[in-house]
Amino acid sequence: MTIDSELASHPPVGRDWPEWQGWVEAMPISQLLGLRCTDIEAGRAIAVLDTPPWPANPNGAVHGGLVAACADHLFGVVAVSALPEGRLPATATLSVEYVRPAFAPLTFEAVVDNSGRTLAFVTVTVRSPNGQVCTKVSGTMSVGGSNVRTDARPSIISVNDRQQSTPSQI
């Protein structure tokens, strides 16, 4: 699979919410994780994981790492939906509380609880098909400083170059 980071780095700011929904679903990470966006608005998104791409745990539940990865992806989705154009959030902290086994299909509700100049605080509530909360995820997104979108493409550094470079050059 070719990962197109250009799509992810160009959210449809200023466009209708159905376009945002399409943007979320078209992102390679959404497709890789198997997430389907069912609703999105400023600072809130709902996504469903119908069929997990990973094998189930021995008890039939979705692997906790996959649940955390889906939540982390939605951190970025809801944060960027609430930010001014040009800001791209990055996960700074992520805390996962596994309340009970998570059986698919899972519903993820992501909400920006609060945001400021440099940080956004996000929670994701994950529910099993019966509506019970199975996982609670909270975290902080860095939204200021170096996360301002520029049109310059990041340079690619080979492993050999990195070993010979000083940290300030990387």
Neighbours of 39 (CB within 10 A): 13
Question: What value, to the nearest 5°, has the Cα angle with vertex 44 and ends 42 and 50?
Answer: 135
Domain count for the chain, please give it.
Answer: 1
Residue tagged 């979320």 (tokens): 24
Kindly provide the residue ranges of all beta strands, DSSP E only, lying in the chain, ordered along the sequence.
35-41, 44-49, 90-98, 106-115, 119-127, 133-142
Better-scored residue on pLDDT, 166 or 65: 65
Query: What domain range is 80 assigned to?
Result: 5-169
CATH assignment at residue 145: 3.10.129.10
pTM: 0.81
Of 68, 65, 45, nearest in space to 55 by CA: 65
Model confidence pLDDT, tens digit, residues 114-132: 998 899 999 999 999 999 9
DSSP code of 75? H
**In this predicted structure, what is the pLDDT of residue 151?**
53
pLDDT band at 6 (very low <50, low <70, confident <90, very high): low
Between CA 124 and CA 61 the distance in angstroms is 18
Residue 165: pLDDT band by 50, 70, 90 thresholds? very low
pLDDT per position as a tens digit, 13-69: 878 888 899 999 999 999 999 999 999 999 999 999 999 999 999 999 999 999 999
Residue 129 CB burial class (10 angstroms; 0-12, 13-18, ≥19): exposed
